Amino acid sequence: MREEIINTKNTALAQIMDAVAEEELERLRIEYLGRNGKINNLLSRIKELDPSERKNLGSLINESKKTIEDAIKQRINEFTSKSISGSEWFDLSIPGILPRIGNLHAQTKVLTKILDIFSFLGYRIADGPEIEKDYYNFEILNFPKDHPARDAQQTMFFDTTGTKNKPGELIPRTHTSAMQGRIMEKTKPPFRVVVPGRCFRYEQVDASHGVDFWQVEGFAVDEDIRFTDLLGTIDFVLRELFGQGVKIRFATTFFPFVEPGVDTYISCTACNGKGCGFCKRSGWSEVMPAGMIHPNVLNACKIDSEKWRGFAFAIGLSRAVCLKYQIDDIRILYNPDIRILKQY
């Protein structure tokens, strides 16, 4: 076997020296050094030899492998040197053409920042299905089938003809609040959760609305939670996200799954509060609707509303991105032009 090893090495070296192109060297590398190459085949036969010969022949094979590797590298260097010396003179100090390097989307940056803030506050992050059941999207959240507040959700429905699903049973979720029921059914309080994700509504597309948008739902349930805890959480999160100088105001509102409900507005950053198309000329933009979780929701999830209380909120992520980067039209976020997106 010693002669076979030496002959294999010598044959490889001769072929390497005769090679006239790097492609030929690559073929030789695979032939001799590849996984199924001749050198590995020799190594696999070591176990068949007498124990007294294995060590010496194993060393000889490894030395041959190293010799072949070095010869291939040296031959490649020769090709490279010849190519440079045979071409026109050029200045090696001239900077080359830099490859295009991607960057994170503005929405990804803001989402990461929001999740970091809530992680600091002790919230865990959850995910859920974009195709949701009517039960979790509405009924468990205190939206009976005949509740007029359903109209405000601008719900789209799947055509379930020919399937086992009843008409209207499956929908593209209209809000990430649908995860409240799923999590509260399986989790014993106390808990704090945030749920980022895509939502869908049949809305008129304009500077601040879209059919496909992102929300970050959040909720907390504990024994001593109060409305002031909710307001303090909102204030802390928005100041961490938009800066300590951001102007915040609250207004009462109605959602079936909270009582009382509150709308949170910040001074529109796109126009500095002067009024624009994004804020509907009001100078303020809604960014974080919230409220205390309705006892009916807790009871539906088998949580004793006499003992436990909670609050919930939702951040319109796409809108928050616009306010963060002073973008006056939400549709810019969905523009694939990299020249636009790289500005943020």
Domain map (residue ranges) of the chain: 2-85, 106-341
| pLDDT tens-digit series, residues 302-318 | 999 999 999 999 998 88
| pLDDT tens-digit series, residues 122-172 | 999 999 888 888 888 888 888 877 767 677 667 888 887 878 878 878 888
Closest CA to 190 of 232, 217, 219, 227: 219
Write the single-letter amino acid at 272. N
Q: For residue 77, what are the CA distances in angstroms to 73, 74, 81?
A: 6, 5, 6
Supply the pTM of this predicted model: 0.65
Q: What is the pLDDT of residue 207?
A: 64
For residue 87, is pLDDT > 60? no
For the chain, the first-to-last Cα distance in angstroms comes to 66
Report the half-sphere exposure of 288 (CA within 13 A, side-chain side): 29
Burial class (CB in 10 A: 0-12, 13-18, 19+), 313: buried
CATH class of 106-341: alpha beta
